[in-house]
Chains A and B, each alone.
Chain A
């Protein structure tokens, strides 16, 4: 398949592929017509009769480009870990055409000028679409809310102090009330800091054995319970970031049943890696919230199936080798996620029969778009021609040299995956050799 000639074609068909339509819940043979960077039409036949150029995607699955609503781009402030250029390159390599970056940069994204800076940098050097999350409170200090109106006007689409829990209930109430009228989701990092101070991993028999201070699941659940109450009180859209415990799933399920405007995301690592892996004291497995138990993982998988958890988000958190080549206690939490999310979940969840491939695609496309109100993620006429081409069966090994990030903090280096991103279209332009 010759691919290089496709990047500048403005009107063409993609044919031969199986088309994944996440909203319809189907993967079936079809062809997609692209005009001026948009989806101009879809026909449910393998080869359309046409005079236009045809991109032959025989044997592959064509899905909407993945959307990550939880990425740490690190720029500005921590360019040694990641830049907008490198982070978006990693995103494309992972099949993501849109990402939502978090506000814990330096300076914090608590001012319109920082939103504008990131947007400009993304336009100049970015490889994919970049949406921006503004901070809920100034300096992420949890005390004074930021200028939501101004942040929104400058382009911010959501609000979050991610990395930190807003411990002052009054501050969060105010933020939710204020955000509601703007229609901006508030993304909450749920962690009772008094229960997790100095913690290194999940609190359990494993932490007892390893002599590492544990964070009990209750620390997450207490925080979620309070936030749900405030969402109910204010009517605002509360989004729970990186949900990780069985108890948290129950809380969200009950809140949804009650009609509270709440959504939740889960990370690939909380779905596939468990606390026992920390016996290696591998700092690349240190994340926040920590890797939990097998029972928690089962509950999270069930929550994906029954819709309690809305989508998968990577919490892509680059840390350079200097940061990670230290004792476990001193290592900052976080791992890379953008390049491994799809293959990891395809290998661990789809191939093991936990979910269908189309469900995984939905959790990476239309669901996150819907949660954050972003464009894309749909296989529909009039949507941007952002696609990912997937070979769901290709076996390959994730190697360090393949990493596009400026950091290498992935515990999955050397891991054999099934399923690979083969190419990405962004606004109808084909980006070759992405992985």
Chain B
């Protein structure tokens, strides 16, 4: 099966088969990451621009590493050190990158829909590394990969996403991805951080729960979102102290969940705000395996976007 898509803008318009293909491909690439020489020639001759308009540590490094593991040529752009400081528009910046004959643009941007806008005038492939509050497809894919590794399937599993759903592109993409793959999603957080009609989001919708204890009581996995204080023009909850008391995931909260419940966090974590120290460092936490899987998932996405087929001989060629 081929991916047959020019861009990856989000998970909403992917089929479950396409998501499965990405995850299967990522499983193969993860094996590459365990080798002594962690590199395959799959994207040799392909040039990728990492265009980051927002600060990022793990997503940017993860993409860059994925690209290097695939032997792609890379150029990097960050807003802080670019002509954007001189007033250059997104369109002009991307047109220039295109003129340098780049094949794929990996972009993060603070405005929802920025990738859709870019796809209007860029004929090169675009991979969404996060747009505003809209989508973060590769994060959701690495979350799904991590869960699938544990469970073998996502179908019928229950995942609770806790925190600032309103401002979270991770939550939106997770809801689309997980529900398409047959999982049941519950969202929980303060009412001020719940967007309108969130219950309708995803394939078949999600369950909304304001009571944290109820929200985790049947959860096979808990995905804890970072409280994004920088995205709030006004305070949506009175204090970090109160937030932690009401919605913070502590070991007491975890003890209410079914045994073996997995704890996830997309990072960076605010320990003592949305997640307790002991939970972040617990055995149930898969926060660092998520990071590892991020590289494999991004290798898979880039490989498939570039038109690649899963081919064992290519993977084995060092």
Contact = CB atoms under 8 A, between A and B. Distances in A.
Interface of A: 197-198, 200, 203-205, 207-214, 280-281, 283, 322, 325-330
Nearest to A197: B233
30 contacts: A197-B233, A203-B196, A204-B196, A204-B197, A205-B196, A205-B197, A205-B201, A208-B196, A208-B197, A208-B201, A209-B172, A210-B134, A211-B131, A211-B134, A211-B135, A211-B169, A212-B113, A213-B133, A214-B196, A280-B116, A281-B113, A281-B117, A325-B89, A325-B91, A326-B89, A327-B90, A327-B117, A328-B114, A329-B112, A329-B132
Interface string B107-146: 0011111101100000000000001111100000000000
Contacts of A326: 89-91, 117
A330 B111 contact: yes
Nearest to B197: A205
Contacts of A197: 233
A200 B111 CA distance: 11
Nearest to A280: B116
A281 to B, nearest CB: 3
A328 B113 contact: yes
A212 B112 contact: yes
B204 interface: no
B183 interface: no
B198 interface: yes
Contacts of B169: 211
A210 B111 contact: no
B110 A329 contact: yes
A211 B233 contact: no
Contacts of A283: 117
B5 to A, nearest CB: 18
B196 A211 contact: no
Contact residue range for chain B?
A: 20 to 34
Nearest to A194: B234
A326 B91 CA distance: 7
Given A280-B116, A328-B111, A329-B110, A211 B132 contact: yes
A134 B169 CA distance: 44
Chain A CB within 10 A, most for which of B91, B112, B134: B112
Nearest to A216: B196
Contacts of A330: 111
B79 to A, nearest CB: 12
Contacts of B116: 280-281
A290 B227 CA distance: 28
Contacts of B233: 197-198
B268 interface: no
Interface string B12-27: 1000000000000000
A294 to B, nearest CB: 15
Interface string B197-215: 1101100000000000000
Contacts of B289: none
A248 to B, nearest CB: 19
B195 interface: yes
A208 B112 contact: no
Contacts of B134: 210-212
A328 B201 contact: no
A328 B118 CA distance: 11
B132 A212 contact: yes
Nearest to A283: B117
B167 to A, nearest CB: 9
B104 to A, nearest CB: 20
B121 to A, nearest CB: 9
Contact of B133 (A203, A212, A322): A212
Contact of B196 (A198, A207, A322): A207
